[in-house]
Amino acid sequence: MTTIRKIYDKFIQGDPLTDDELAHGIQHFSTLDKLLGESGPIFELASNEACRVYHRLREYQDARKRNL
């Protein structure tokens, strides 16, 4: 299983993510959302999921930084 798949699985299951996992996931899903969005309407559902995950990971990271 790839690193990004492990991060996504942990995210979906609500398991805690490390700072490195958050940074890696944010970068990956941000790029994925952009690429899928540019690829046309057939990729809209996948783009929406990538966007959702990206934003949730950013919120998670921001909340963690506020609580330091």
**Would you say residue 48 lies in a domain?**
yes
Q: Looking at the predicted structure, is the pLDDT value of residue 53 above 80? A: yes
Phi, psi of 12 (to 5 degrees): -60, -40
Q: Which two tokens stand for residue 20?
A: 């490195």
Supply the mean pLDDT for the chain: 96
Q: How many folded domains does the chain comprise?
A: 1
**Would you say residue 37 lies in a domain?**
yes
**Would you say residue 54 lies in a domain?**
yes
Q: How confident is the model at residue 60 (pLDDT cuts 50, 70, 90)?
A: very high
**Would you say residue 13 lies in a domain?**
no
Range of the domain at 39: 3-8+18-66
**Would you say residue 56 lies in a domain?**
yes
Compute how many other C-beta atoms are within 10 angstroms of the C-beta atom of residue 21: 18
- The pLDDT, as a whole number, for residue 4 is 97
Q: What would the pLDDT profile of 13-32 be if each residue is shown by its tens digit?
A: 999 999 999 999 999 999 99
- The pLDDT, as a whole number, for residue 15 is 97
